[in-house]
Amino acid sequence: MGEIIMGNIELTRYTRPTPVQKHAIPIIKEKRDLMACAQTGEWEFAYRSRVRPCVVYGGADIGQQIRDLERGCHLLVATPGRLVDMMERGKIGLDFCKYLVLDEADRMLDMGFEPQIRRIVEQDTMPPKGVRHTMMFSATFPKEIQMLARDFLDEYIFLAVGRVGSTSENITQKVVWVEEADKRSFLLDLLNATGKDSLTLVFVETKKGADALEDFLYHEGYACTSIHGDRSQRDREEALHQFRSGKSPILVATAVAARGLDISNVKHVINFDLPSDIEEYVHRIGRTGRVGNLGLATSFFNERNINITKDLLDLLVEAKQEVPSWLESMAYEQHHKGGGSRGRSKSSRFSGGFGARDYRTSSGFGSSSSSSSRSTSSRSGGSGSRGFGGGGYGGFYNSDGYGGNYNSQGVDWWGN
């Protein structure tokens, strides 16, 4: 990959690639389009090279960003909204774009950015697919992501690390029953049991809740900070700097504010408030156990979280985690009372191993989707109708020390 890049890898103390890197890099070098589903593993190694990177995102000084662009740019990292703004101002042209990377594509769709993404890719001067090379990275592979891949990628290779939509086995997951009134005292117990220098990320559901919990922890003598949607970009960046540096080793955050957060050494994620769907849970706990590190995720569960009981149980079983007996009982009761699949929406995409049927193979999708299906199936070890996350991947990751055997048999918790 070049002397400078290899030197930067050595400086960052990487000794071997993560599973997704091991397979993605050769695919990219062969100039094939790529759709990759994996938990985590980001890496940036442009330091000391002649590559000029620029960043474009909302909430920061647009004038400074324009001045940086005017000096020249080889590598642009951008959020969809600000990039569209720059394009409409005539400050950025995409005519010579050779590589397009959509990172955390599922999160961008969840945040409502699909119109901006399609504007960038389809309605301006962006070279068409087949001319540019396109890579998409996503932790999940629901119908919406499959549609995006069909429209943006040309004869692409699908790369799945582990099971699509599952959690990393580098993360130990604990679910504990905690009444609302007891959450703060239970949180203090967890923090007291954690090393003072360990970074802990605490998720809450509301902005008001984030402010209140930060204030509570501060008055209890803990160095902490918080981020949420009402904070300015400068305040958020300062909070993240304090957290990364360890000056404030506890970060209280709402899910929206923490999306895209990449801090490799977060030791503990605490779901003070559990999310309302299992997909958000997967993304939250994915903030720990990154790039091969071990992590811990603790979630406070009570009557307010009944709606994700079955999905949470399925996820814990699949990841070979300890399942509390009370959670099994609740899931069983909910299922046999008729609450099993009713009322579940996009969270149901995680059931059944693959998490969704392959919508690309439906009629009317054209030859490219059927061809990409052949490409992916030839690389999946013949995983059959369970999708791309099965068969051929289990032995590889087990032998390389990442995760376990993804061929493990499912457990029928429902007595069917």
Q: Which ranges of 153-249 does DSSP label H, i.e. alpha helix?
A: 183-192, 207-219, 233-245
pLDDT of residue 7: 82
Length of the chain: 416
For 374-388, give one letter per residue: b (16+ CB within 10 A) or e.
eebbebbbebeeebb
pLDDT of residue 410: 41
- What is the Cα–Cα distance from 117 to 102, expressed in whole angstroms? 9
> For residues 197 and 249, is the Cβ–Cβ distance under 8 A?
yes
Q: Is the pTM of this model over 0.75?
A: no
Name the residue among 82, 258, 76, 271 with its Cα closest to residue 186. Answer: 271
Q: Which architecture does CATH list for 171-350? A: 3-Layer(aba) Sandwich (3.40)
pLDDT of residue 44: 59
- What is the Cα–Cα distance from 233 to 253, expressed in whole angstroms? 14
3-state secondary structure at position 224? strand
Domain 1-166+353-416 indexed as CATH 3.40.718.10: no
3-state secondary structure at position 160? strand
Compute CA distances 165 → 81, 136, 313, whole Å: 26, 15, 14
Contacts of 386 (CB under 8 A, 6+ apart): 352, 353, 354
- Edge to edge, the sheet with strand 250-254 lists 171-177, 295-301, 266-271, 199-204, 250-254, 224-227
Residue extents of the structural domains in the chain:
1-166+353-416, 171-350
What angle is formed at CA 206 by the lines to CA 196 and CA 77, rounded to 5 degrees?
A: 75
- The identity of residue 75, as a single letter, is L
Q: Which ranges of 246-308 does DSSP label H, i.e. alpha helix?
A: 255-258, 278-285
As averages over each run of 10 residues, the pLDDT of the chain (416 residues) reads 78 77 90 82 63 89 94 93 94 95 87 92 91 90 87 93 64 96 97 88 96 97 94 89 94 81 87 92 86 87 95 92 94 73 40 45 39 35 31 30 33 39
Q: 1-166+353-416 and 171-350: same fold?
A: yes
